[in-house]
Amino acid sequence: MNEQSTAKEGKWKSFFCLLAHGKIAWGFVAIGYIISLASGAIALQFSNKMGDLVAGDFSMGTLYGFIWMTALYALFNGLSNIVMTIAQTKSVKNLRTVLWNKLMRLPSSHPMSSKSSEMLSTITVDATTSMTYVLMCLVGIPTAIYFVVLAAIQAASMSTRFLIPIFCLVPVYVVYGIIIGKLNQKTNVKVQTSIGMLTGFLSERLRNLDLIKAYNSQLTEEEAGTEAARKLYKQNCFLTTINTGIILYTLLFDSVCVIMAVLFGSSMIKAGTLRPQEWANFFILLPMVNNMLRSASGMWVNAKGALGFTARISALLEAPEEKTDGKAVDKIGNIALCNVSFSYGEKRVLDRISFTIPMGKRTAIVGYSGSGKSTLLNLIERFYTPDEGVITLAGENIAELELCDYRNKIAYVQQDTGMFSGTVREALLYGITDEKSDDELLDVLKKVSLYEDVQRLPAGLNSKVALWGASLSGGQRQKLVIAREMLKPSPIILLDEPTSALDLTAQSTVFDAILHYFDGRTIVTVTHDLRLIAEADQIVVIDNGMVVAHGIHTELLDRCELYKKLVEEKAFEEVYGE
């Protein structure tokens, strides 16, 4: 119970967090607010004039007043709609900008960082949904209350007994907001889950269609897909039925309103306490109050439904950013890891690791997959912070250094990060601040034997690379990424399996390029490539997150069983036997 209520509070807090940090276009909201209030007041006047007409007062004055009010009413309604649309869209844009800036600066250890699809939907869907409903609620509900109060005052001026039906309507819509709103929300969630399941099912199957065809299992998949679609159908039918219930409820109350007005009015007219004109006024007024209350409770329901989205956004807005400030990096030296431990959640990946990466030398890190090698590079790059222990550069704790400056000192070829779409030139210059001539670019392309490939493209360096670099082969992509890092003057080079997607010939070309081009800089390579290992000045063998041995190739062959296994002597001799 207690937990539930705190969860709820947290949600409403997120509402305010969005208001505070979401950069809402307050100017437009204020204008929209004023127009909405004015339109409420006009609506009331309009209902009066209409009442006069209905009661039979067709004098020119009433008629012109009526037409005038009608036009004003339509105009103000339209205006408030337009202004609120602008306010919402502007606010969504601002919120997206805030979120995007935040996302890029989140620490990699933040849970959101690993959930790419959530990040995406936060910017695209959540931002729109939460902002739209929050603003609607913010302006719509006070307007509705204002109108109801005005209407109540007017009704009271005719007869205090008219207040009774008005106040009878209020609990009706409070109930509506609470019960039906909740039911509707729950079913909506179920429908969304079913849609999600169907989407998941379909995209998995369509992505792996080769496999389905190869296994002749089209018919089985046909049935499974039908089943998933049927589940969604059932949820949708349920939702429809609930919506029908809501419509029934509102229509019934429309009629109840009219009947109430008739009953109240007729008895009072009979008793002579009410003029027919007043009665006609009230007869028009009551359904309008009913409508206002309904739309307000509808907004409330929507806003509550959007709280889930709002909560995600506010969690993100309040998340800490990567620590960027610190000392400038003024000297480069050995990188030392001292008792470094790191866990992803429960799973300990690195366990009290200590070793030194000497400046200007080549260090190779080897081990079975999953032994923590890539994590080690990510710690050095400061994507993550060690749970225990410190990493130092020339004696300075790297966590104390200015982040941008520090990362500029490192060129990092990550395992499967590719490039962004754009031209070859843009891909090469990504993250490079100083000017580079075409010759320089072509030069590095030659070094990784990509020159001919680029020359063959229709527009050379200015040729477009498709989304995800899909128009390039895996090997070409890897070469391009290495070329990009070659353009950086960084004194420290981190390479994570830099030749994994390359064929034999390309491997040795790129390998030569790496060794020669980066010669004299600090190189840290995670690799299975025997030649890269053999050329290392220091080899660190990692198993289960611990350093089991380090030394040079020939030494390790002698004293480290694991290394021996890893290196597969036989293959090595075959390559170098000639």
Partner 1 sequence: MKKKKTLSIQKYLSIFKGLRLPWLFLTLSVAGAILSYLFTLNLADLTADVVSATGDVKKTKLAGYVIAALMVVIGTTASYWFREIAAQKINLSLRIKLWKKLVHLPRNQYDKDGGEGFVSRITTDCTFSSTFFTMMVEFASLAVGVVIYYVELFSTNATISAASILLLPVTVLIAWGYGRLCYLLNLNNQERLSETTEYLIERVYNMPLLRAANMQEKESQAGVQRFATLYKVEIQKGLLASLNTFINGAVPVISMAIVFVVGAGFVNAGAMTAGGVYAFYLVANSAAVLFANIVEYAGSIRGSIGAMERVAETLEQAEEDVKSGEITPKNGKVTVEHVTFGYTGASILNDAEITIPENKLTVIVGSNGAGKSTLFRLLERFYVPKEGAICVNGKAAGEYSVESWRHRIGYMPQDGVLMAGTIRTNLSMGADHLYSDEEINVVVKQLALEPFFASLPDGFDSAVEAGGKNYSGGQRQLLGMMRVLLYDPEILLLDEVTSNLDAHSARQIKGALKEICQSRTVVMIAHDLQTILEADHALILRDGKAVYAGDPRQVLTEINDYRREVMGQ
Specify whether the CB–CB gap between 165 and 264 falls below 8 A.
yes
| Count of residues that interact with partner 1, criterion CB under 8 A | 135
DSSP code for 108: T
3-state secondary structure at position 387: coil
Please tell me whether residue 421 binds partner 1 under the rule CB under 8 A. Answer: yes
Please tell me whether residue 575 binds partner 1 under the rule CB under 8 A. Answer: yes
Per DSSP (E only), the strands in 426-531 are 464-465, 492-496, 522-526
Binding region for partner 1 (CB under 8 A) out of 28-36, 113-121, 287-295, 353-361 = 113-121
Specify whether the CB–CB gap between 69 and 49 falls below 8 A.
yes
Smallest separation (angstroms) from partner 1 to the CB of 300: 20
Closer of 157 and 203 to partner 1 (Cβ): 203
DSSP codes joined into one string, 339-360? EEEEEETTEEEEEEEEEEE-TT
Closer of 153 and 247 to partner 1 (Cβ): 247
Cα(549)–Cα(256) distance, rounded to whole angstroms? 85
Closer of 104 and 153 to partner 1 (Cβ): 104
Please, which of residues 537-566 interact with partner 1 by CB under 8 A? 565-566
Smallest separation (angstroms) from partner 1 to the CB of 507: 9
Please, which of residues 123-162 interact with partner 1 by CB under 8 A? 123-124
Closer of 6 and 417 to partner 1 (Cβ): 417
> Which residue in 428, 422, 578, 429 sits closest to 508, CA to CA?
578
Please tell me whether residue 276 binds partner 1 under the rule CB under 8 A. Answer: yes
Please tell me whether residue 56 binds partner 1 under the rule CB under 8 A. Answer: yes
Q: According to CB under 8 A, which one of 152, 212, 317, 319 is a site residue for partner 1? A: 212
Please tell me whether residue 77 binds partner 1 under the rule CB under 8 A. Answer: yes
Cα–Cα distances in angstroms (integers) from residue 93 to residues 89, 122, 409, in the given order: 6, 13, 35
Please tell me whether residue 53 binds partner 1 under the rule CB under 8 A. Answer: yes
Locate 379 and state its tokens: 């710690």
Binding region for partner 1 (CB under 8 A) out of 394-402, 414-422, 518-526, 545-553 = 414-422
Please tell me whether residue 283 binds partner 1 under the rule CB under 8 A. Answer: yes
CA 102 to chain CA centroid, nearest Å: 10
Smallest separation (angstroms) from partner 1 to the CB of 500: 8
Cα(268)–Cα(165) distance, rounded to whole angstroms? 14
Question: What is the identity of the amino acid at 280?
Answer: A
Please, which of residues 7-26 interact with partner 1 by CB under 8 A? none
Closer of 114 and 339 to partner 1 (Cβ): 114
Q: Which residues of 476-492 are buried (b: 16+ CB within 10 A; e: fewer)?
A: bbbbbbbbbbbbbebbb
Q: Which residues of 215-247 are buried (b: 16+ CB within 10 A; e: fewer)?
A: eeeeeebeeeeeebeebbeebeeebeebeeebe
Please, which of residues 244-273 interact with partner 1 by CB under 8 A? 244, 247-248, 251-252, 255, 258-259, 262-263, 265-266, 268-270
Please tell me whether residue 90 binds partner 1 under the rule CB under 8 A. Answer: yes
Query: 573 burial class (0-12, 13-18, 19+ CB within 10 angstroms)?
Result: exposed
Please tell me whether residue 285 binds partner 1 under the rule CB under 8 A. Answer: no
Please tell me whether residue 410 binds partner 1 under the rule CB under 8 A. Answer: yes
Cα(202)–Cα(560) distance, rounded to whole angstroms? 49
Please tell me whether residue 63 binds partner 1 under the rule CB under 8 A. Answer: yes
Smallest separation (angstroms) from partner 1 to the CB of 1: 32
Closer of 182 and 230 to partner 1 (Cβ): 230
Site string for partner 1, 320-339 (x = CB under 8 A): --x-----------------
Q: According to CB under 8 A, which one of 202, 388, 438, 561 is a site residue for partner 1? A: 202
Please tell me whether residue 344 binds partner 1 under the rule CB under 8 A. Answer: no
Closer of 341 and 509 to partner 1 (Cβ): 509
Cα(491)–Cα(523) distance, rounded to whole angstroms? 9
Please, which of residues 360-399 interact with partner 1 by CB under 8 A? 368-370, 378, 381, 383
Binding region for partner 1 (CB under 8 A) out of 55-63, 158-166, 297-305, 327-335 = 55-63
Specify whether the CB–CB gap between 488 and 518 falls below 8 A.
no
Q: How many CB atoms lie within 10 A of CB 424?
A: 25
3-state secondary structure at position 423: strand
Cα(298)–Cα(302) distance, rounded to whole angstroms? 6
Please tell me whether residue 217 binds partner 1 under the rule CB under 8 A. Answer: yes
Helix%, strand%, coil% for the chain, nearest 5? 65, 10, 20
Q: According to CB under 8 A, which one of 34, 233, 339, 440 is a site residue for partner 1? A: 233
Please tell me whether residue 221 binds partner 1 under the rule CB under 8 A. Answer: yes
Q: Which residues of 426-441 are buried (b: 16+ CB within 10 A; e: fewer)?
A: ebbbeeeeeeeeeeeb
Closer of 338 and 383 to partner 1 (Cβ): 383
Please tell me whether residue 120 binds partner 1 under the rule CB under 8 A. Answer: yes
Please tell me whether residue 404 binds partner 1 under the rule CB under 8 A. Answer: yes
Please tell me whether residue 471 binds partner 1 under the rule CB under 8 A. Answer: no
Binding region for partner 1 (CB under 8 A) out of 148-156, 173-181, 232-240, 303-311 = 232-240
